[in-house]
Structure 1
Amino acid sequence: MSSREIAQLTGSTHDNVLKTVRQLVKRGVVSSNETPYIHQQNGQQYSEFLLTYRDTLVVVSGYSVELRAKIIDRWQDLEARVVGQVQIPTNFAEALRLAADKAEENQRLQDALARQAPKVAAINRLAGAGGAICITDAAKQLQLPPAKLFAWLEQNRWIYRRHGSKRWIAFQPRITAGLLGHKVTSLDPDRESGSDRAAFSVLVTTKGLTYLAEKHIGGQGPLERT
């Protein structure tokens, strides 16, 4: 039972209930299970305690008999709801059916974990790489041909080329999202004007690698469109 519900049932303020619980926790009388919650009206985060049946009775032990009775009645109501939701077999056939349903549920969970295992392994591998790498190295990490990754990035508006240029440039939204970045390389000054020149190379960030790994391994085929 939450400390907020205790306050509602006893007509006390939640601050007073929190004060009582914290005093009892400090004395080692009840367990500390302080949990944050979001207030529905103002969206702010506050604290509450989630108490067991025993700890709840300890907290309200100093309250009047009528208030303690309200708490006990509420606990019995909660327990009755839980029992009502539990399917208890009444014969051997129902017990077999329940066991079969549980086995099917466990198998579905194992299958889901098996499907996710490659994705998790890839994400862990990519997250350990750190920093940002070029698209060719990203393709190696993803176990893809570089040409395939370049083509996908272009088709899905991650990178583009200016007219007449052979260099790739990252789309700004992908940079803003932290998926791509640029490496700036200084070039020799222009022979005619003498002005400094620079070249941009597209880099894939760790966040971008993780996203691409999910698209590649988590989809039906290599790199779904997005």
Structure 2
Amino acid sequence: MQTVTSVNTPLNLPTRFAFQPNVSRTMSSREIANVTGKRHDNVMQVIRALAADQILTPESQESSFEHKGNTYACWDLSKRDSLVLVARLSPEFTASVVDRWMELEGQAIQPRELSTMDILQIAMESEKARLLLTIQVEAQAVKIHSMENLFKEGMTHTQFCKGLNGVNVMQVGNALEGRNWLFNESKSGLRWRVASYARDKYMTEHQVEITPHGKDPFISFTPVLLKKGAAKLYDLYLSELLPMKKTWDGRFTHDKALKEAV
């Protein structure tokens, strides 16, 4: 068996301790020898016994160090394993090792001084976020302005969609039927009524009594959009979830308005 010479070094010897979150935090067996006042070779014997009994965790690893031109074995132990080792070596020194760990952990959380490049990078990221937020706010404002300019009280879905560039207005009724906004009460043609799902939420109905010449009067129902329904319809339009014409140029109404205003 190789004999390892005990090397006692001051308490400020380098400790492989994490100053970054992705590096495992460890304490050297040499430092534990100094804290407990034990010879390093004796500390190593106990560590090897713990390793042989599979008591140590994988986070603890055997290592080496150089002293006066010679290479010696040592261990880098996790916090848990260092406390197990001290409990085996000298229980009365457990508090000293805990204090040392608290000191090391306090050093680890100290923020490093920012370099000029760090400050510039932070400033660039902040400005990028500000510009992105400005663009998003402006786009939302244009969207709301465009929708409000299009919507008028009492509008039908067909009338509203005529103001949406590229929408196939002849197919919108069928699309809204698929979303349970409308249903067709006619068996031979189209006579749209507002479905219960959308009634008073997205749409309502205007009722008109019609009296044909020589016939009995009847009630005609016309589905009309509410403002919330117009906003929802506009969102479906921007998400390309409404039926679009094959000749659509790919521009939305507010995009087209902005281009023409420039």
State the TM-score, normalizing by the size of structure 2.
0.43
> Which structure features the higher share of helix residues?
1
Larger Rg: 2
State the TM-score, normalizing by the size of structure 1.
0.49
